[in-house]
Amino acid sequence: MVPMTLQEIAETVRGTLYRVPDPGAVVDRPAVVDSRLAEPGSLFVALPGERTDGHLFAAAAVGAGAVAVLASRPVDGPAIIVRDVLEALAELARAVLARLDLPTVIALTGSAGKTSTKDLLAQVLRTMDTTVATPLSFNNEIGLPLTVLHTDVGTRHLLLEMGASRAGHIAHLTGIAAPAVGLVINVGTAHLGEFGGSKEAIAAAKGELVEALPPDGLAVLNADDPYVMSMASRSLAPVLTFGRLGGEIRATGIALDEAGRPSFTLTWQGAGARVRLGMYGEHHVANATAAAAVALGLGAGLGQVAEALSAARQLTPGRMEVGERPDGVTVVNDAFNANPDSMAVALRALAAMAGGRRRVVAVLGEMRELGPESGSHHVELGRRVAATGVTDLIAVGGAEAALMHGQALLAGVTSTLVADRDAALELLRDYLEPGDLVLVKGSHSTGLEDTARRLTNPDAAARAATRAAVSGRRSPDV
């Protein structure tokens, strides 16, 4: 973070110093919202959480070295008291970015593949110059300003993933960090219910990104997605396109190896370079091509981009993360989230990975936030499971999981319906056999990420459970 005194921060966020012995004390490490991540020189941001309140952990953060706490009420330790902590965090991020003249702010959005594309692009940009990128999927009004506060005078690229579950979200985020380059990957079915069941409404919200670009910026759009291409008229910036069927930057000659990892030729301006991805699933070709388009638009060479993409790996867990167990079971953890589009993509990738395996098991949780058409989407998923070669389905959840389960049974798939992630794990412990290929996927609220981790490394999960039982402790909530 750009060094700032507590007095400077208080003035920036229009806050009041509380129990601060030295207003000249300097914050020179990133802000954190988890007291366990506090360190000397950091600022602890006390936000309310789903299960607890960050203000309760202020003393722990200060004890770990945090210079002060950004808080909405007095706490046990030095603090900057503000009316609204989240608004103050955004204001601080704006101020830090305004002090830096050199970073090129690159923002990306899309209904599916945002985080994987961000991970690929970050690894390409780092071959060009110093880059700060959104960690994991911290793409909301909390995660984005926290990412901005990781920048310093040496940062040359600031890569920000932007998510949206309603109109106005992306406009708010671009108001914190105005992008020079905007990438829109696709428009699909994620959060369909929150947008009234309309892809047009999703496109309108995603298009807020290109509307925020300056005339000398760059809009990078998916030529294969008509909803994305409709955004071109909303941008004052020049447009650069990518795709498989069309676009200035294209992926051709796509092939999959025996493990389901894709290779393709990246073409641009009459030249081509072969890319061999280390990630699983043909869908990563579109992600890689999108990342390539941004890097090429920023001046990278074609060979440089192809080499960086070939060396790139999945950085964020829960996205086609493949684990091999000693007993020969392969677990594919794609459980961070799910919607009809991403389920289809994951099942196609699973089919490509299956090879000659005896059993292909899909552990699928319900897809949430789909609106009134949710039932039909789950029926269609049951059909898709059968069509993509899954031999065994474990459907996890309630009424909508039952629709998926029933349709799979009708299509001849061996299917079992269980109530939740714990029941799924209990069943799978005895269900899986050496050589099985297992996909775990569901909406984030189903909690199947934990199931996937425990399946991938059952011995470690058992040891952790034993330690917790013996110590009687639980992890802090903040």
Q: What is the pLDDT of residues 158-214, one digit of tens each?
A: 999 999 888 999 999 999 999 999 999 999 876 565 666 688 999 999 999 999 999
Average pLDDT over residues 379-408: 96
Domain that holds residue 424: 321-467
DSSP-assigned letters across all residues of 45-90: E--B-SSSBGGGGHHHHHHTT-SEEEESS--SS-EEE-S-HHHHHH
Q: How many helices (H) and strands (E) does the chain have?
A: 17, 22
Q: For 342-356, how does the pLDDT look when each residue is reduced to its tens digit (9 = 90+)?
A: 999 999 999 999 987
Helical ranges in 131-283 per DSSP H: 143-148, 169-176, 199-206, 208-211, 226-229
| Domain end point (choices 35, 51, 85) | 85
Between these two residues, 357 and 259, which has the higher pLDDT value? 259
Same-domain status, 160 and 20: no
Same-domain status, 73 and 134: no
Q: For 447-464, how does the pLDDT look when each residue is reduced to its tens digit (9 = 90+)?
A: 999 999 999 987 654 444
Residue 144 belongs to some domain of the structure: yes
| Dihedral sign for Cα atoms in the order 344, 445, 427, 452 | positive
Judged by phi (left if over 0) then psi (alpha if -120 to 50, else beta), residue 320 lies in left
Same-domain status, 43 and 155: no
Mean of the per-residue pLDDT values for the chain? 92
Lowest-confidence range among 4-18, 21-35, 360-374?
A: 360-374
Same-domain status, 303 and 361: no
| Domain end point (choices 282, 311, 340) | 311
Check whether 384 has a pLDDT greater than 60.
Answer: yes
Q: Please tell me the predicted confidence (pLDDT) of residue 194.
A: 65
Residue 476 belongs to some domain of the structure: no
Residue 209 belongs to some domain of the structure: yes
Check whether 230 has a pLDDT greater than 50.
Answer: yes
Same-domain status, 72 and 108: no
Tokens of 102: 């050199």
Residue 92 belongs to some domain of the structure: no
Q: Please tell me the predicted confidence (pLDDT) of residue 356.
A: 73
Could you give the number of structural domains in the chain?
3
Residue 392 belongs to some domain of the structure: yes
Same-domain status, 109 and 183: yes
Q: How confident is the model at residue 237 (pLDDT cuts 50, 70, 90)?
A: very high
Tokens of 466: 């034993």
Long-range contacts of 172-177 (CB under 8 A, 24+ apart): 172/141, 173/107, 173/140, 173/141, 173/144, 174/107, 174/208, 174/209, 174/212, 176/90, 176/93, 176/94, 176/141, 176/144, 176/145, 176/148, 177/93, 177/94, 177/97, 177/105, 177/107, 177/144, 177/145, 177/148
| Domain end point (choices 278, 311, 344) | 311
Q: Please tell me the predicted confidence (pLDDT) of residue 467.
A: 40
pTM of the model: 0.88
Same-domain status, 285 and 328: no
Q: Kindly report the CATH number assigned to the domain that includes residue 363.
A: 3.90.190.20
Q: How confident is the model at residue 138 (pLDDT cuts 50, 70, 90)?
A: very high
The Cα 441–Cα 431 span in angstroms is 17
The partner residues of 365 in beta bridges, in order of sequence, read: 396
Same-domain status, 58 and 191: no
Q: How confident is the model at residue 122 (pLDDT cuts 50, 70, 90)?
A: very high
Same-domain status, 455 and 378: yes
Residue 351 belongs to some domain of the structure: yes
Check whether 470 has a pLDDT greater than 90.
Answer: no
Residue 17 belongs to some domain of the structure: yes
Same-domain status, 260 and 334: no
Q: Please tell me the predicted confidence (pLDDT) of residue 51.
A: 81
Strands 330-333 and 321-324: antiparallel
Q: Kindly report the CATH number assigned to the domain that includes residue 81.
A: 3.40.1390.10
Q: Are 273 and 194 in contact (CB under 8 A)?
A: no
Residue 472 belongs to some domain of the structure: no
Q: Please tell me the predicted confidence (pLDDT) of residue 191.
A: 59
Q: By percentage, how much of the chain surpasses pLDDT 90?
A: 85
Average pLDDT over residues 406-421: 96
Judged by phi (left if over 0) then psi (alpha if -120 to 50, else beta), residue 103 lies in beta
Tell me the residue length of the chain. 478
Q: Are 290 and 283 in contact (CB under 8 A)?
A: no
Same-domain status, 327 and 406: yes
Check whether 244 has a pLDDT greater than 90.
Answer: yes
Same-domain status, 143 and 262: yes
